[in-house]
Amino acid sequence: MEKLGIEKTSSSYTTPGSRACLLDLLCTETPLWGCQGDLYLLGPQQRLNKFLSESGNTICADCASPDPKWVSLNLGAVICIKCSGVHRSLGVHVSKVLSVKLDQWTHEQVNSLIDLGGNSTVNMKYEACTPGNIKKPNPDSSVHERIDFIRRKYQLQQFSRCDQLITPCPFPAGYSKCTQKAQSFSVISPPSPSCLQNSKLYDKQATKTRIGNAFRNSWVRKEFENKSCRKKAALTNLQAGMVEFVGLIKVNIVRGMNLAIRDMLTSDPYVIISLGQQSVKTRFIRSNLNPIWNECLMLSIPDDVPPLKVLVYDKDTFKSDDFMGEGEIDIQPLLSTARANEKSGMANSMPLDNALVKNSLIKLVDGKVKQDITLRLQKVETGELHIELECVPLTQ
């Protein structure tokens, strides 16, 4: 009974005050616990702005331009709009760029950014052993200077560790040119009896085995071709980053309407948009002729301002994707409007004359220059796309 009484007493003591005791313990042991909880009373954007106001984050991590409004999420660097174009050209596997103003931030994204430490920590890591002959870009540096430095800093990581600046000897210890020459002048011996026996065994192999070997070899060749394509794509992205650009365009692919049939009764559509040498695409939606993507894509606007090209395809598994229409959008009026609005205020909306677009107006919404478009697809029997555009001048 005494045992039961003790257990009853202890349980009656701990249960009523367990929550209060746990809270007191947390606040006592970790004084910052309450402060971190209070941070979540703020929205993600407010927490992001607080992070940007910290020392080191008020200038670009790569060129020291003041008041940067772009962030490399996976690197933790706060960068300016000029350097952001170079970061995007490296690919999202190297640097995933988000806008402070244009993108919708979550608490998880802000947390990961804060954990990386900001510009001071990033530069301590990626510029730890910068050689004296390497000049860091400044706000007035050309795009070629930015590309060279940023690519070497993040993609090649040539400045992160001092031992990486010294190229190690590619040959093992004890290797000499004499050994190499002796190996190159070795006498070719005639085939041994075991080799002849193996060739006879190969001749006796079943046809099924030979077909299997040929099938495996074809997959190896296909993988090699895929790697070559990826290398070409990386080179194209690098060339795209070397072009001077005057702003950014945010393209929201809202939905498709009455798209063409390319399978038995339906299609699996996706959209590709390209601007100059840049190209991005949406996800594909299965079995839908009126798909809703509502997917935002972003591209840099080159200095010569080419038209925005739109392509729609049907996703196929066992054959090449089927064409479902194309179109072009002249974004020069949108860019001109954004520049004019930046210099001096203007009217809320203006009409746009475009044969492929109906009822399209360039509007000023909350200080942002936007355009809603219904694009009729060309070279196809039917189909329209609803697209929203937003132009961001270079100075924003």
pLDDT tens figures, 257-314? 999 999 999 999 999 999 988 889 999 999 999 999 999 998 888 888 999 999 999 9
Note whether residue 140 is domain-resident: yes
For the chain, how many structural domains are there in total?
A: 2
276 and 364 share a domain? yes
Please, which residues bridge with residue 71 across strands?
A: 78, 98
* One domain, residues 254 and 360: yes
32 falls within a domain = no
The per-residue pLDDT for 85 is 86
Please give the C-alpha separations between residue 38 and each of 34, 98, 118, 182, 263, in angstroms, as whole numbers: 6, 25, 21, 73, 54
Task: State the residue for tokens 């005791």.
Answer: 21
What per-residue confidence (pLDDT) applies to 327?
96
- Assess whether 249 and 155 both reside in one domain: no
Query: Is residue 247 domain-shared with residue 112, that is, in the same domain?
Result: no
Asked if residue 102 belongs to a domain, the reply is: yes
Least Cα distance to 394 among 301, 289, 281, 290 occurs for 301
pLDDT of residue 278: 86
**Contacts of 213 by beta carbon, 8 Å cutoff, 6+ apart:** none
136 shares its domain with 266? no
Residue 134 sits in the same domain as residue 271: no
Digit-coded pLDDT (tens) for 177-220: 444 444 444 444 455 555 555 555 555 555 545 555 554 555 55
Are 341 and 247 contained in the same domain?
A: yes
The amino acid that residue 314 corresponds to is D
Residue 229 domain-assigned? Answer: no
- Indicate the burial class of 210 (C-beta count within 10 angstroms; 0-12, 13-18, 19 or more): exposed
Secondary structure of 33-100 as H, E, C letters: HHHHHHHCCCCHHHHHHHHHCCCCCCECCCCCCECCCEEECCCCEEECHHHHHHHHHCCCCCCCEEEC
pLDDT at 173: 47
> Where do we find the tokens 């179109």?
327
Contact residues for 338 (Cβ-Cβ < 8 A; gap 6+): 247, 369, 391, 392, 393
The CA–CA distances, whole Å, from 120 to 61, 84, 356 equal 8, 18, 49
CATH number for the domain including 53? 1.10.220.150
122 and 253 part of one domain: no
Q: Are residues 381 and 268 in the same domain?
A: yes
118, 136, 163: which is the final residue of a domain? Answer: 163
Considering the domain architecture, whether residues 262 and 389 belong to the same structural domain is answered as yes
What pLDDT does residue 388 have? 95
Helix (H, G, I), strand (E, B) or coil at 386: strand
Predicted pLDDT of residue 365: 84
What is residue 171's predicted lDDT score, i.e. its pLDDT? Answer: 45
Q: What is the pLDDT, as a whole number, of residue 368?
A: 85
In a domain, 145, yes or no: yes
- Local mean pLDDT, 10-residue blocks, the chain (396 residues): 45 47 52 48 91 95 95 96 88 90 90 95 94 93 93 93 50 46 45 55 52 52 56 53 74 96 95 91 96 92 91 95 96 89 63 54 86 95 96 70
What is the domain extent for residue 140? 44-163
Q: Write down the pLDDT at residue 31.
A: 46
The reply to whether 213 falls in a domain is no
Residue 31 lies in a domain: no
| 223 domain-assigned | no
In eight-state DSSP terms, residue 164 is: G
pLDDT value of residue 73: 95
For residue 259, give the CATH number of its domain: 2.60.40.150
State which of 163, 183, 207 marks the end of a domain. 163
Confidence at residue 185, expressed as pLDDT on a 0 to 100 scale = 41
Q: Which residues pair with 98 in a beta bridge?
A: 71
- 384 in the same domain as 259: yes
Write down which residue in 112, 133, 163 finishes a domain: 163
